[in-house]
Amino acid sequence: MINYELDGKVAVVTGGASGIGKACAHAFARSGADVSIWDLNQSALDAAADELKQHGHRVHTAIVDVSDSRAVDTAMEGVVGELGKVDIVVANAGIGGDISPSGDYSDEGWHKVIGINLDGVMYTQRAAIRAMKKSGGGSIINMASILGSVGFAMSSAYVAAKHGVVGMTKAAAWEHAGDNIRVNAVGPAFIKTPLVEKSLDAQTLKFLESQHALNRLGTPEEVGELVAWLASDAASFATGAYWAIDGGYLAR
């Protein structure tokens, strides 16, 4: 694994107790950063924190509902108070939402997905910018999806939110380049997380694998490596971009 030379940096990862978020947190801690992971599940946070501490750096945890702007602001202030500053933020928390055609999508289902997957990313990005402006800059990575650039049937709220994340990322990159803040979006294809494996039958899983040129799903660790690079000084000229990590899904 690559060391991205993040010594002395402080990284925040929302949805950091499992899956892609936890993989990002491990990549940061392995590369020398102190890490704050946010999630809704205390037991999962505690377990993830125990794993991260093995890298020898400080680990901070917080229970945060990212769809609550006040909770996000309070948590970000808590990170600064506990760890001193914020250099890297990954707005990763998200949900899949209802599986339903657009014509039947419920108000409740729509608002829940938009509230977490779009509003939550905006609140996290906004709090990150405020903190980073005080400490001289940083890198924000917003977790979009391949569905931030293409459609997918029965998931209109998710697709709309992820397209919104990509657009918001591009706007913020232009707005805050002068503050020494880089903002990028990452677009994973279907990733083999425990949640995905649990929720899909073997036939569906096989079909999804076939939709990628590499004929498999990605791993959280593969996404984490891209995110860690974007957080590092090696990506100093990268901002306002959408970085697909998709096994060839979008290459058709």
Look at residue 200 and tell me if it is in a domain.
no
pLDDT at 201: 87
CB atoms within 10 A of CB 172: 24
Range of the domain at 140: 10-192+220-243
pLDDT at 196: 82
pLDDT at 199: 78
Residue of 4, 105, 158, 242 with catalytic role: 158
Look at residue 94 and tell me if it is in a domain.
yes
pLDDT at 153: 96
Q: Are 13 and 38 in contact (CB under 8 A)?
A: yes
Cβ within 8 Å of residue 40, ≥6 positions away: 63, 64, 65
Closest CA to 89 of 130, 31, 119, 50: 130
- Look at the chain and count its residues: 252
Q: What residues of the chain score a pLDDT lower than 70?
A: none
pLDDT at 198: 79
158 is catalytic: yes
Look at residue 209 and tell me if it is in a domain.
no
Look at residue 205 and tell me if it is in a domain.
no
pLDDT at 96: 93
Q: What is the CATH number of the domain that holds 26?
A: 3.40.50.720
pLDDT at 162: 98
